[in-house]
Every structure is written in C-alpha cells, then in structure tokens.
Amino acid sequence: MVENTSGVSSILSFPVIYELIQRVFGARSGRRMVVDRFIRPKVGDHVLDVGCGPAKLLALMPEVRYVGYDPNPRYIEDARKSFGKRGSFITGRFTADEVPKYERFDIGLLIGVLHHLDNNEAAALLALMQAAIRPGGRIVTLDPVFIENQNPIARKLIEWDRGKNVRRASGYRALVSEHFSSVDETIIHKKIPPYTLFVMQCS
C-alpha cells in the first residue's frame, strides 16, 4: 500500500474511514473468499503481507506466523491494537534490508499493492518477494483490472481508485513472469457494487 497525502487518499489513511469504505465494497465477505480460495493458510505457515493495511486478513487465518508491512503508521497502530502478539507489524516498506531478517516465508501477500506501483517499482518488489519466499512457497496478488467489455460502472470505479497503475491482465502477468515460473490467474466479477479483480497465485 502506497501513501498519498492528497484528497481522498489522505482521508483513507485513517483506519476507521478506510474500513468503512471497505465495508461498502463488501470487503468482509471478499476477504473470506480470498483467504479460503487463494491464500489457504495452514497452522504454522510463515506469512509475509506487504501493504497489509490494518491487517484485517489476519482475523480470518489460523495460527500463522504473520509479518505485516505498511508505510502508514495509523494502519500499523490499528493492526497492533487489533491483533497484539498474533503477528509482527512493521511501519515502513519491505526493502532488501528486510529480507535477511526472517526465515523464508511460505506465503507472500501483495493484496491491492501492484496497481499502486509503476513497472520498475513493481519489478523491484516482486524480486524481493521471490527472495523472501522459500522454494515451493508462493505469493498471492490481488488488484483491480481492466478487461474487454467491462461493466461500465466497474470501469469507472476502478478509474477512481487511488492506485494509478491499474493494468490489464497481460500487464500484471508480464510483471510476475519475470520472477515466477508458475502463474495461476483468476478474474473475479463482483456484482454489488460492480468491480473487477485479478488474482495471481505465483510460485
């Protein structure tokens, strides 16, 4: 998750407002679906969540070894209040200096992150994720996506997103294929409100 201090982005930096907007977009049921269908964490898994926000996904996971990074101190403070010692919550970006601090991770999460990054920034982060994940591990990404014949409301909502680098599926695929040999893709069509999401499971 990338900080932006202007307009709506500044308002959404407050966890209460962020969570309210997430509820309007059906985030609670959506999070459950993402955890159960794509992340599929097991007890004891070592999970790295980059751009974790207030770490609400953790509430839906079993007892994992969770490490979350986000540059917004308000989000991290909220995560610590909500989850305490269930995870480690770090204010800042996941950089090359952070990789050797940890045992390799089983699962890496980039949920709503790539569409905030330009191609160079995304490539650098994906290289770090590759280095941080154990052999046989995987990363899961989720971002809004532009598609052919898209619901016009969904397209307009995505155009209004804080992230200014929403791509087509081929664009996201090109980014991860430089670092991961196996990419399983899923397009999700949300009905209320209309929205289109692109999920990649990469190993």
Beta strand extents in the chain (DSSP E only)? 46-50, 65-70, 87-91, 105-111, 133-146, 167-168, 183-190, 195-202
Output the six-digit token pair for 133. 């994940």
pLDDT digits (tens, 9 = 90+) for 67-117: 999 999 999 999 999 999 999 999 999 999 999 999 999 999 999 999 999
Tell me: pLDDT of 169 over 50.
yes
Find the mean pLDDT for residues 148-176. Answer: 95
Q: Count the Cβ atoms, other than its own, within 10 Å of residue 112.
A: 20
Question: Rounded to two decimals, what is the model's pTM?
Answer: 0.87
Please, which residues have CB within 8 angstroms of residue 116's CB and are 6 or more apart in sequence?
A: 1, 2, 51, 162, 163, 164, 165
Please check the confidence at residue 38 and state whether its pLDDT lies above 60: yes
Task: Say which range, 18-22, 45-49, 62-66, 118-122, has the weakest mean pLDDT.
Answer: 18-22
pLDDT (0 to 100) of residue 28: 63
What domains, with CATH codes, occur in the chain?
Answer: 7-202 (3.40.50.150)
Q: What is the pLDDT of residues 173-201, one digit of tens each?
A: 999 999 999 999 999 999 988 999 999 99
Q: How many Cβ atoms from other residues are within 10 Å of residue 187's Cβ?
A: 11
The rounded distance, in Å, linking the Cα atoms of 23 and 30 is 10
The answer to whether residue 1 scores a pLDDT higher than 70 is: no
pLDDT digits (tens, 9 = 90+) for 3-26: 333 443 444 455 544 455 555 454
Two structure tokens written together for 197:
């999401």
The pLDDT mean for the chain works out to 90
